[in-house]
Structure formats: C-alpha cells, structure tokens
Amino acid sequence: MKRYGIIHDPLELWVASDRALASSELVQVTGSENEKFTTRDFLAAEQALENHAREMANSGGFKVSNQHIEKAVKQQSADLQTRFGAILSDEQVTAIRHTIPEHRAKSNVGTKP
C-alpha cells in the first residue's frame, strides 16, 4: 500500500481494508447511515475539541482589558475622522462598552432604523 496513494489492485485494496478494519485502534462512528470508522486517538481529540469549544461558549465571552477597549474606541474615532470627518458618538461608545461588560467581549448585532 502506498502512503497517500491510490490502490489500483482490488486484491491489494481488500487486504489493506481487512488489515485496517482489524486494528484495535479503529472504532465505528455511531449515528451515521453508512458504516464509518475513525481511530481512538482522533475520536479523543475531536471530543476534547468539542469540550473546549463548549466551555468557551459557556464562559460568556473573552477577556478584554480596559486599555484595549479605550485604544479601539480612539482608533475607530480617528479612522472615522480621517475618512468621513466624524467621530464615534457618545451613543456608539456607550454601545461598545455595553457589549463588553466586566471585560468580556460579546456579539451585538443590530441596526438603527
């Protein structure tokens, strides 16, 4: 069997498939219409990644320091001043600070009618 290659010989493919299916590291993936398999290591890595993603999602956001918030507000105002001759309004700055309570960034989506 060639690594990363295609096995053209049906008999060689059958032998390689049997060898792979006999591996003690192989586990069947449940919840699929077709038979699917993976390795124990890959399954463990996938489950760990899911757990970390769930923990991050449940944490409510990501820490952001006041220094970064103030720098971003000033930078955005400066960019607006340069490009359009305007700055962030007090209402916009308040909205930014509202989306970052207790130093945790969140997503805030909306438009002003």
DSSP letters spanning 45-104:
HHHHHHHHHHHHHHTTSEE--HHHHHHHHHHHHHHHHHHHS----HHHHHHHHHTSGGGE
pTM metric for this prediction: 0.42
Given a cut of 90, whether residue 112 has pLDDT beyond it is: no
User: Angle between the 90-98 and 66-84 helix axes, to the nearest 10 degrees?
Assistant: 150
Local confidence band at 5 (pLDDT 50, 70, 90 cut-offs): confident
In a domain, 111, yes or no: no
Q: Are residues 67 and 54 in the same domain?
A: no
Tell me the per-residue pLDDT of 6-58, one tens digit each, with 9 for 90 and over: 888 899 999 988 988 899 989 888 877 888 888 899 889 988 988 887 887 77
| Mean pLDDT of the chain, nearest integer | 80
- Name, in order, each residue with C-beta under 8 angstroms of 95's C-beta and a sequence gap of 6 or more: 108
Q: Are residues 14 and 53 in the same domain?
A: yes
The range of the structural domain enclosing residue 47 comes to 10-58
The structure tokens listed for 102 are 């207790």
Alpha carbons 79 and 85: distance in angstroms, whole number = 9
First to last CA, the chain: 63
Local confidence band at 106 (pLDDT 50, 70, 90 cut-offs): low
Tell me the per-residue pLDDT of 67-98, one tens digit each, with 9 for 90 and over: 888 898 899 899 889 988 888 889 888 888 77
Local confidence band at 3 (pLDDT 50, 70, 90 cut-offs): low
Task: List residues bridging with 105 in a β-sheet.
Answer: 62
Q: What angle (nearest 5°) sits at the alpha carbon of residue 54, between those of residues 50 and 55?
A: 120
Task: Specify the number of domains making up the chain.
Answer: 2
In a domain, 5, yes or no: no
Q: Are residues 20 and 40 in the same domain?
A: yes
Q: Are residues 49 and 76 in the same domain?
A: no
